[in-house]
C-alpha cells in the first residue's frame, strides 16, 4: 500500500465514524425510539455541537468524493512522490481540524481548514497532470 493510499484509508475511516457522536446525541435528546423514527419537522432539535458535527460530516463525505478518486488515479498512474504524500497527509489533517473547529463553532478557522484541504486536492490534480 502506498502512503497516499494509507492517508486515503485513514480519511475514509475518519469520515466513516463521524456519525457516531451526533447519533448518540440524537438518542440522548430524543430517546432511542425517537432517534430511530422517521425525521419530522416537529423533532426536538439536537444539541448545537451535534448539528454542527452533522454538517461537518456531510461536508467530509462530499469532499471525500473528490479526494478518493484523485488518490486512486495517482495510484493507477504509479505516481507517488514526497509531494503527493505530503498533500494527502495535509488533506487528512485539514479534514480532522475542520471537524474539530466546526464542532467548536469557530467559523473563520473552519473555512481556513477547509481551504487547506482544497489546496491539498489541487496539489494532487497538479501531480496527476505531471505538474508537481
Cell for 35? 432517534
Its pTM stands at 0.94
Amino acid 132: pLDDT: 79
**Residue 70 domain flag:** yes
**Residue 50 domain flag:** yes
The structural domain count of the chain equals 1
What does the mean pLDDT of the chain come to? 97
Residue 131 has pLDDT above 90, yes or no: no
**Residue 56 domain flag:** yes
Residue-by-residue DSSP string for 38-79 = PP-TTSPPPPHHHHHHHHHHHHHHHHHHHHHHHHHHHHHHT-
Helices 19-36 & 3-17 angle (0-180, nearest 10): 30
* Domain of residue 63, CATH code: 1.20.120.550
5-11: long-range contacts (C-beta < 8 A, 24 or more apart)?
5/71, 5/75, 7/71, 7/85, 7/88, 7/89, 7/91, 7/92, 8/67, 8/68, 8/71, 8/72, 8/88, 10/92, 11/64, 11/67, 11/68, 11/91, 11/92, 11/95
CA-only gyration radius of the chain, Å: 17
**Residue 102 domain flag:** yes
Mean pLDDT of 16-45: 96
Mean pLDDT of 98-109: 97
Residue 35 is classified by DSSP as H
**Residue 52 domain flag:** yes
Query: How much of the chain exceeds pLDDT 90, in percent?
Result: 98
**Residue 41 domain flag:** no
Cell for 36? 430511530
Structural domain of 18:
3-36+46-128
Amino acid at each position: 500500500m502506498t502512503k497516499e493510499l494509507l492517508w486515503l484509508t485513514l480519511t475514509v475511516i475518519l469520515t466513516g465514524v463521524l456519525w457516531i457522536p451526533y447519533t448518540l446525541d440524537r438518542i440522548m435528546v430524543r430517546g432511542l425510539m425517537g432517534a430511530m423514527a422517521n425525521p419530522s419537522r416537529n423533532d426536538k432539535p439536537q444539541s448545537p455541537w451535534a448539528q454542527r458535527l452533522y454538517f461537518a460530516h456531510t461536508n467530509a463525505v462530499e469532499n471525500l468524493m473528490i479526494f478518493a478518486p484523485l488518490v486512486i488515479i495517482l495510484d493507477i498512474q504509479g505516481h507517488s512522490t514526497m509531494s503527493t504524500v505530503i498533500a494527502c497527509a495535509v488533506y487528512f489533517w485539514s479534514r480532522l481540524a475542520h471537524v474539530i473547529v466546526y464542532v467548536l463553532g469557530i467559523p473563520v478557522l473552519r473555512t481556513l481548514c477547509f481551504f487547506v484541504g482544497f489546496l491539498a486536492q489541487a496539489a494532487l490534480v497538479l501531480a496527476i497532470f505531471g505538474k508537481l
